[in-house]
Amino acid sequence: MMEDEFYATIKLKTGEEIFCKVSPTEEFDKTLLIVYNPIMISPVKGKHGLYAYKVEPWLKTTSEDTFIISMDNVLTIVETYDKEMIVVYKNYLRKSTTKNKHVKPSRKMGYISDIDEAKKILEKLYKNS
């Protein structure tokens, strides 16, 4: 292990720019970056000229959260101490982990019925219209 984990922005040779927690390591005389929960952040102009951040996962078709990137694929890496970016990152991680939890339906969410009952109600509405 070379260093401890740190927050960083990484510009890849493909042009992608990701923000993540990084842990560099040496394997077979090659430097690798272990990146945790990489995200892409882009500013979005809102109403009245105010800016917000659009945050999305780096890879959208996987549920994995840890990746290994060879330094051969990195154009530059910058350690960040920007508290605002770190807070955005942590909030995104917190929200994405709570979003994936299954929520049990309740009456507060709306009407709950079985399929047969719902079918009868919908057929009645259709016939009366």
Instruction: Tally the domains of the chain.
Output: 1
pLDDT grade, residue 1 (50/70/90)? Answer: very low
Share the mean pLDDT of the chain: 85
Q: So what's the pLDDT on residue 89?
A: 92
Report yes or no on 113 lying in a domain: no
Q: So what's the pLDDT on residue 71?
A: 94
Report yes or no on 124 lying in a domain: no
Report yes or no on 129 lying in a domain: no
Q: Is 36 exposed, middle or buried (0-12, 13-18, 19+ CB in 10 A)?
A: middle
Report yes or no on 20 lying in a domain: yes
Return the percentage of the chain with pLDDT > 90, whole number: 43
Report yes or no on 43 lying in a domain: yes
Q: So what's the pLDDT on residue 118?
A: 77
Q: So what's the pLDDT on residue 117?
A: 80
Reply yes or no on whether the pLDDT at 99 is more than 70.
Answer: no
Q: Average pLDDT, stretch 88-115?
A: 71
* Residue, of 54 and 67, whose pLDDT is higher: 67
Single pTM value for the model: 0.67
Name the DSSP letter for residue 59. S
Q: How far is Cα 92 from Cα 81, in angstroms, rounded to an integer? A: 17
Report yes or no on 65 lying in a domain: yes
pLDDT grade, residue 100 (50/70/90)? Answer: low
* Domain assignment of residue 51, given as a range: 6-102
Q: So what's the pLDDT on residue 40?
A: 93
Q: How far is Cα 17 from Cα 58, in angstroms, rounded to an integer? A: 9
Report yes or no on 114 lying in a domain: no
Report yes or no on 41 lying in a domain: yes
Note whether 41 and 53 are within 8 A (CB). Answer: yes
List the CATH number of the domain containing 12: 2.30.30.100
